[in-house]
């Protein structure tokens, strides 16, 4: 892309390697509780606290709808925030301590009646994920769009961020589960052990985000039609829905989040009941997420080979392959681990490029409407992730309950075991196909050079 003159405009926006690393630490922080919520929480509720799977699925499904709506509200809050620390970055400071507290409360389900437990789970789950996590993770993600407007710098920031992201997952699925297994008084069946370990992880996650807050800076000077003025909602909201690429990315996030939910939650059940050892999830997820650390760094060397859209399609194809290969030997640890490896390779281009694609959609939105609603677009796109999680969890809970699954039993029925296997293999494959279909309509990669050229010409006229 020809950026004549643009390099001079954004030369002051170069981001140091240390700052990129610090931003990656923030990603680890957000991923710790996200992994607990998507990979272990449903199992904790059904197998440790012994709440009915259908109730849990319904609670999480309803909550994730609220969660998606709260994302959109949070995006507008970020766009209207003005502070000495910037528009988005300040929320890292404000929400770090509430983040740790809410994560701990999520595990302290009292041993009372079923209805009281359901109410407590609904309240604490929404406190954590609908309120605190939303105002913790979303400003963090939006901060990247204010760190620089240099497309290469953004790509580098996001590649480092996504290379570090699996660390949070591995710390939970490999380390957390193994520590639980060897803790006293029942190991991973003792709720007190879950509370203690979650508290340690939550405090560490909060500390990582505070480090990120102290180390990164917002540099982008907003030169849209409103500048430093707060964009009225009656203008910002219609502008959001005029952005066709936001709509596509929203739909993509729905399908990808459903994949992550199925892959994370069902893998736990699959390892426990099909393979016979829940701790094997550490092997599978280390293969899945560990490979992304190396592969994401390599992505920066090869992503110029084709468009971001095409890389996402290739990734979805590899996710499908990683699911179908399990058919070769469904109870083999080695085969399931290889499947996790392929899924991880498939996730690499998606996670490595999707947030850069959101940044591109933000530039498209400003070009299309004259209004830069970075927080709203980031929020509306990632709200698709929350809706996808909600739909995924609701489906898992309903399907598991219909199959006759009961977490309190030592042996599950053939119907329940077959359901777990089908969701793990075919459910994930179907979601990969949906991701491909959505990406076929995405054309912004080809349109972006002309869009950014026209946008820069407008901004030079305003400066």
Whether 106 has a pLDDT exceeding 80, the answer reads: yes
Backbone dihedral region of 7: left (phi > 0), alpha (psi from -120 to 50 degrees) or beta? alpha
Q: Is the pTM of this model over 0.85?
A: no
pLDDT score recorded for residue 202? 93
**pLDDT band, residue 103 (cuts 50/70/90):** very high
The CA distance from 361 to 364, in Å, is: 5
Contacts (Cβ under 8 Å, ≥6 apart) of 391: 61, 64, 254, 258
Tell me the average pLDDT across 279-305. Answer: 76
User: Please, is 7 exposed, middle or buried when counting C-beta atoms within 10 Å of its C-beta (0-12, 13-18, 19+)?
Assistant: exposed
**pLDDT band, residue 10 (cuts 50/70/90):** very low
Please check whether residue 59 is in contact with residue 125, taking contact to mean a CB–CB distance below 8 angstroms.
yes
CA 129 vs CA 109, 203, 253, 292: distances in Å: 16, 17, 17, 25
* Dihedral sign, Cα of residue 423, residue 424, residue 430, residue 431: positive
Distance of CA 130 to the CA centre of its chain: 14
Length of the chain (residues): 463
The CA distance from 390 to 395, in Å, is: 8
Whether 225 has a pLDDT exceeding 60, the answer reads: no
Distance of CA 9 to the CA centre of its chain: 32
Whether 44 has a pLDDT exceeding 80, the answer reads: yes
**372 three-state secondary structure:** coil
Please check whether residue 35 is in contact with residue 173, taking contact to mean a CB–CB distance below 8 angstroms.
yes
Q: What is the pLDDT of residues 45-90, one digit of tens each?
A: 988 888 888 888 788 778 877 776 787 788 778 877 788 888 888 9
- Which has the closest alpha carbon to 105: 87, 89, 131, 123? 123
* Dihedral sign, Cα of residue 452, residue 138, residue 256, residue 180: positive
Query: Does the domain formed by 17-462 have CATH 1.20.1250.20?
Result: yes
pLDDT score recorded for residue 447? 85
Whether 6 has a pLDDT exceeding 80, the answer reads: no
Least confident of 242-251, 257-266, 284-293, 403-412: 284-293
The percent helix, strand, coil of the chain (3-state, each to 5) is 80, 0, 20
The CA distance from 183 to 190, in Å, is: 9
The CA distance from 146 to 149, in Å, is: 7
With vertex at residue 352, the alpha carbon angle to CA 10 and CA 57, rounded to the nearest 5 degrees, is: 125
The CA distance from 167 to 294, in Å, is: 12
């Amino acid at each position: 892309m020809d950026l004549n003159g643009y390099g001079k405009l954004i030369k002051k926006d170069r981001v140091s390697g240390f700052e990129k690393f610090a931003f990656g630490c923030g990603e680890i922080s957000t991923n710790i509780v996200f992994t607990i919520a998507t990979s272990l929480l449903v199992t904790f509720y059904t197998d440790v606290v012994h709440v009915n799977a259908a109730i849990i699925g319904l609670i999480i499904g309803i909550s994730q709808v609220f969660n998606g709506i709260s994302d959109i509200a949070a995006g507008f809050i970020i766009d209207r925030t003005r502070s000495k620390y910037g528009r988005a970055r300040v929320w890292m400071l404000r929400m770090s301590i509430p983040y740790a507290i809410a994560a701990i409360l999520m595990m302290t389900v009292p041993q009372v009646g079923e209805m009281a437990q359901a109410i407590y789970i609904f309240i604490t789950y929404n406190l954590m994920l609908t309120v605190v996590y939303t105002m913790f993770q979303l400003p963090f993600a939006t901060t990247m769009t204010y760190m620089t407007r240099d497309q290469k710098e953004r790509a580098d920031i996001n590649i480092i961020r996504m290379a570090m992201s699996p660390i949070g997952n591995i710390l939970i699925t490999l380390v957390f589960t193994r520590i639980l297994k060897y803790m006293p008084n029942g190991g991973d069946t003792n709720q007190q052990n879950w509370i203690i370990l979650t508290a340690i992880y939550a405090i560490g996650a909060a500390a990582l985000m505070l480090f990120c807050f102290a180390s990164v800076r917002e540099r982008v000077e907003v030169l849209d039609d409103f500048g430093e003025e707060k964009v009225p909602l009656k203008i910002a909201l219609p502008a959001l829905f005029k952005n066709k690429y936001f709509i596509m990315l929203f739909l993509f996030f729905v399908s990808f989040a459903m994949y992550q939910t199925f892959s994370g939650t069902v893998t736990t059940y699959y390892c426990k009941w099909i393979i016979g050892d829940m701790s094997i999830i550490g092997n599978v997820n280390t293969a899945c997420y560990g490979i992304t650390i190396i592969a994401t760094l390599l992505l920066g060397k090869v992503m110029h080979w084709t468009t971001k859209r095409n890389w996402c399609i290739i990734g979805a194809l590899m996710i499908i392959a990683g699911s179908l290969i399990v058919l070769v030997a469904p109870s083999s640890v080695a085969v399931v681990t290889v499947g996790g490896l392929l899924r991880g390779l498939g996730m690499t281009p998606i996670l490595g490029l999707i947030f850069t694609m959101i940044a591109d959609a933000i530039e498209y939105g400003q070009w299309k409407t004259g209004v830069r609603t970075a927080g709203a677009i980031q929020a509306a796109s990632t709200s698709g992730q929350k809706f996808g999680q909600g739909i995924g969890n609701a489906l898992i809970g309903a399907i598991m309950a219909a199959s006759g699954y009961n977490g309190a039993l030592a042996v599950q029925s053939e119907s329940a075991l077959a359901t777990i296997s089908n969701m793990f293999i075919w459910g994930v494959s179907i979601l990969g196909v949906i991701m491909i279909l959505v990406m076929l309509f995405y054309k912004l990669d080809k349109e972006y050079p002309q869009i950014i050229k026209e946008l820069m010409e407008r901004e030079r006229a305003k400066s």
